[in-house]
Amino acid sequence: MDKFVIEGDRQLTGRARVSGSKNAALPIMAAVLAADGPLQLSAVPDLADVHSLLRLLETLGVHAERPAENQLDLVVETTQPHVADYDLVRRMRASICVLGPLLARRGRACVSLPGGCNIGHRPIDLHLKGLAALGADIRVERGYVIAQATRLRGTSLFLGGPYGSTVTGTCNVMTAATLAEGRTVIEAAACEPEVVDLGNCLRQLGAKIEGLGTPRIEIDGVDRLGTAQHRVIPDRIETATLMIAAAITGGHIEITPVRPDHLVAVCEVLERTGVRIERSTGDDGLPALVATAPAALVATTLTALPYPGIPTDVQAQLMALLCRAEGISVVTDKVFPDRFLHAAELVRLGARIVREGPTAVIHGVPRLSGANVMASDLRASAALVLAGLAAEGTTTVRRIYHLDRGYQRLDEKLNRLGGQVTRSDDRPGPAPPHRAGDPRKHARRLATNG
Ligand code: EPU
């Protein structure tokens, strides 16, 4: 298990390259289970979550090759397996993305329920409701979803839930519907760019899909999906994290390749805090965003919402930024109202944060000071790393495996920008040799230490 040791209070400046989107790559990789031919992907990030899904896909009969860095060729070699085992699914919730494609192509799927999560309650009832509406017989037994259908049937269905639509639920139902008989209309579909990217990949495979990026997606089922070559979109959450790295360290970073249209809400909120955001073209000719910190950050109020709102996946990083902003900020998360475990750790770095239900109130402080902190989930780790970059002194962020699930070598990227982040093994060293001591001294020590 690794940790980061960060020497803070350094301006980050320069150029950074963003990897392909984790949350687009995962359902796209799973979609190969619905296709006959090879799926050749580029800009696949090299991440722990991608490796976890590859292991699962291999148990489901998929052969994978990496012809070059960030490229992935996938092909289904056998369509017999249909069980996604608990030991593999529990490592990563996005494993649930295999449910729809397996069911649609193999007629049956047995997928472990993903289990608990540090960012709040994460049911999959909407996934199951959508697949049941397509005619699947679904039951949950011994911790597994067992789904069967000779052939799915197109229908109209509604995917809205108490916190908006569902991103991976829309991915599951949309992929399954591509092979259903007749037309499916998904109302209250998720509009996130990652869903659109999956839809575009499915279209290349031969699916007939309209309305991507809107809450109403229409799918005309086809008999088979073929082959495709697809480039995964740039990771908008990593882009936002790097923009915040510039803002929180008083720096200036050019980030490429980016899709500015995926980041409108994030840019707007950063501009409200005083950050200057400019569009430009990177050295490689690809679209870039340049974030420049203001002399002083200004407090603001923000709410994380489904796309095109501010992503919940940037809420923690924005909170880290607002810890340094002059005035009182209010941050609410309407997608995951319990996603606040980072707040207590930010307080360890000197932040002033009070949480009330789905909202946190942040009193900006002029300086943060380095401390030992513990990452609780992927985006919380990013927030702690950002705060550590801005803090005076040394910050140690433990359980960096959370960060590695979703950011490709973030430490190296930050160091190229002038950060000083050292990765090291956090396993406890060997216990010191036992020395027989004076039992009276030992008793005195215990009494003093409480
Ligand atoms: N929800 C339900 N029922 C469902 C599904 C979801 O009530 O059947 C609720 C959830 O509890 C939550 C809300 O609906 O309150 C949205 O959940 P959603 O299903 O959209 O989340 P997800 O698909 O499981 C994806 C991302 C998350 C991201 C969310 C929201 C992937 C692999 N994961 O999760 O990413 O936070 O959408 O945008 O795409 C991350 O990358 O750090 C991450 C957690």
379 lines ligand 1 (CB under 6 A): yes
Q: Check whether 95 has a pLDDT greater than 70.
A: yes
139 lines ligand 1 (CB under 6 A): no
Q: How high is the pLDDT of residue 449?
A: 39
Q: Check whether 445 has a pLDDT greater than 60.
A: no
| Cα-based distances in Å from 330 to 86, 323, 353, 394 | 39, 11, 10, 28
Residue nearest to atom 6 of ligand 1 (CA): 166
Confidence class for position 446, pLDDT limits 50, 70, 90: very low
Q: What is the CA radius of gyration of the chain?
A: 23
Q: How high is the pLDDT of residue 138?
A: 98
List the alpha helices (DSSP H) in 289-407: 315-322, 341-348, 378-390, 401-404
pLDDT digits (tens, 9 = 90+) for 173-210: 999 999 999 999 999 999 999 999 999 999 999 999 99
Pocket probe for ligand 1: among 21, 23, 140, 241, the residue whose CB has the most ligand atoms within 8 Å is 23
Whether residue 325 contacts residue 300, with contact meaning beta carbons closer than 8 Å, is answered with yes
What is the rounded CA–CA span in Å between residue 371 and residue 351?
Answer: 12
Q: Which residues are catalytic?
A: 117
Q: How far is the CA of 306 from the centre of ligand 1 (A)?
A: 10
378 lines ligand 1 (CB under 6 A): yes
pLDDT digits (tens, 9 = 90+) for 342-383: 999 999 999 999 999 999 999 999 999 999 999 999 999 999
This prediction's pTM: 0.94
Q: Check whether 442 has a pLDDT greater than 80.
A: no
Q: How high is the pLDDT of residue 137?
A: 98
In sequence order, what are the beta bridge partners of 3?
A: 424
127 lines ligand 1 (CB under 6 A): yes
